[in-house]
Amino acid sequence: MLDHGTEAYLIADRIAAAGVPVLYGPLIVSRSNVEVRHRTPKAPGILTAAGVKVSIITDHPVVPIEFLVDQAALAVKHGMAPADALRAITLNPAEVLGIADRLGSLAPGKDADLVLWEGDPLDTRNRTLRVWQQGREVMRRDEAGEPVITER
């Protein structure tokens, strides 16, 4: 696995041929270091198109985890297919971590972590309506649209 994979898109075909997954990100930080000067929001799409399994990361706390969806949306804006971007923040990371039997997608027997959005989850204008963890509701919005924590 290549962690951060900032310039991995430059040799995407070789990485795909080797079957090496890439953790790419964060996408929304400055190019302050020499090792990120060639970083581009097009990279996740380029890598995925080449056949590389991409996971988009925030490098929390560099970019808070709350901005993971924003980074996936940015990758879509720059050419990544929406389905690939969703997979890059759900199933792909679970597979890379070896926990896809429990997390990353919806299937009988999995942990049932689920977020219900008011629209497209990659449209950053949309809000989370409800959240379930391990099948239990932990957040919902009240009649005024304010979040209510239902379980901790």
Dist CA 144 CA 139 (whole Å): 14
Q: What is the pLDDT of residue 132?
A: 93
What single letter denotes the amino acid at residue 99? I
Q: What is the pLDDT of residue 113?
A: 86
Q: What is the pLDDT of residue 31?
A: 67
Q: Are strands 22-24 and 147-149 parallel, antiparallel or unpaired?
A: unpaired
Q: What is the pTM of this model?
A: 0.90
Percentages of the chain per state (helix, strand, coil), in multiples of 5? 30, 20, 50
> pLDDT below 50 — which residues of the chain?
none
Distances (CA, A) of 33 to 14, 26, 36, 38, 104: 25, 13, 6, 10, 32
